[in-house]
Every structure is written in structure tokens, then in C-alpha cells.
Chain A
């Protein structure tokens, strides 16, 4: 599955397009376990644990979007965008969406 955030896949032509496909995971954005966040909150710096956590969650969202695209018979998703929204007290949705297409 080819993924791109441009409107077409560079170097290829779109022959069919199927519509919007999405993938999302809902994560508790306020994370209790600290991953050294306590110390980092004092002196600042990257919270590597959180970075990995959110990166992993976003990969999951992308995977789900790819699954949706596969189910409609696409071999590429174009114009991919991400969104993060707060859905409940302390929880946020990590959301990826794009248009499923067939390219040659």
C-alpha cells in the first residue's frame, strides 16, 4: 500500500478512486505512568516515553486506515491528513484520514 500526503502519487497516475478511508485510536492523553516525566518536567527536555507512545498510537491509526483501504480494493491512499481531538475528559483521538485510490 502506497501512502502519500500529496493529492496524487508522484510518478504514478490515479486510475480509480474510492472515497475517504479513516483510521483512529483513542488514547488517554493524560498518562499516569511517568516515564521520567517527573524529572523532565523540572528541567525540561524530550519525554521519550510519550513520544514513542504517541508515535505508536499514530502508526496504529495509519494501519487501520490502510486496512480500510485494502478492504475497498485500493492500492494507495493519497492526501493523508492527521488530526488529534479531545473526545472526553482526559482522552484524545489520534485520527488519520485520506482518499483510497488505485494507481498504476
Chain B
């Protein structure tokens, strides 16, 4: 074996350790987020948030206003590396699926929470938008994170 190959392999050790650490702690962080999400979703499942505009006839609308919720989430270093590998071979980018799933659910959760804070009882016409936040250090090529925006109209009902 060439000495230069050995040197190259030794140089691979640090990035590999970083990847492994990112995998472990990234998983912990993601699972914790999912637990928080599920808890909040369960707690607010009786707070209606819908995408249509129709207002049930039984509802007596006292007030209506726009509410928004947004979140910027980053994926961990390991998942980003996985996506890079995928970029060579093509195929489904499974590592980003959880990022977007978390982002959407978090944004909708924040809309509900904001609506509740303003004394509303339901949100209608929810829309979602996502945008990529790129890295400035890599001149816009990397993905620092994804922003998900959710917005709708919060209704205060007369009981």
C-alpha cells in the first residue's frame, strides 16, 4: 500500500468521528422535537385548524384576523452528508423528509398557539410555504436550514 494512501486514510478519521457524533446527537435532538410536537398536537387537537374557507353555519364569528407561524430548522451534519451521497446516485432523499415534516408540523402548531394567544377559537384557510435558507460561507450552495411558514385566519367565536 502506498504511504500516501495511508496518510489519506488517517486524515479521514476526524470527519468520520464528526459524522458519527452528528448522527447520535442529531437523532437525540430530532426525537426530542418529535416528542414535544406530539405532546402539543395531542393537547390542541380540539382546536380546529383547516385549509378551507367555509365557515360552519353553527359558528358565530365575532372577530377575524390573520395569524402566522414560522420556524427555521436545520438538519444535522450526518443527514446532510447522506444527502450529498444521494446527490451522486440519485433517488429519494429520505434524510430530508423528517426535516420538512417537523418544519410543517411546528409551523402549524405555532399558528394554533398564536391564534389561541389572541383569544381565537379556530383557524381557517391555512396555507403553507417553505423556503431554503442557504449558507453564506459556502456561497449559497449548502443548505443551512429550511423555513416553513404557515398562515391562516383566526376566528373568535361567540360561545
A and B touch in the complex (CB under 8 A): yes
Residues of chain A at the chain B interface (Cβ within 8 Å)? 2-7, 9-12, 28-32, 37, 40-47, 50-51, 54-55, 58, 62, 80-84, 89-90, 92
Given the interface contacts A30-B136, A51-B72, A54-B72, does A44 sit within 8 Å of B64 by beta carbon?
no
Given the interface contacts A10-B61, A32-B136, A44-B75, does A5 sit within 8 Å of B153 by beta carbon?
yes
Contact A43 B72 (CB under 8 A): no
20 extra A-B contacts, CB within 8 A, seeds A47-B72, A55-B68? A2-B64, A3-B65, A3-B66, A4-B64, A37-B74, A41-B74, A41-B144, A41-B145, A45-B29, A45-B73, A47-B133, A50-B72, A50-B133, A51-B72, A81-B127, A82-B129, A84-B149, A89-B140, A90-B134, A92-B131
Report the contact-size class of chain B (Cβ under 8 Å from the partner).
35 or more
Contact B22 A42 (CB under 8 A): yes
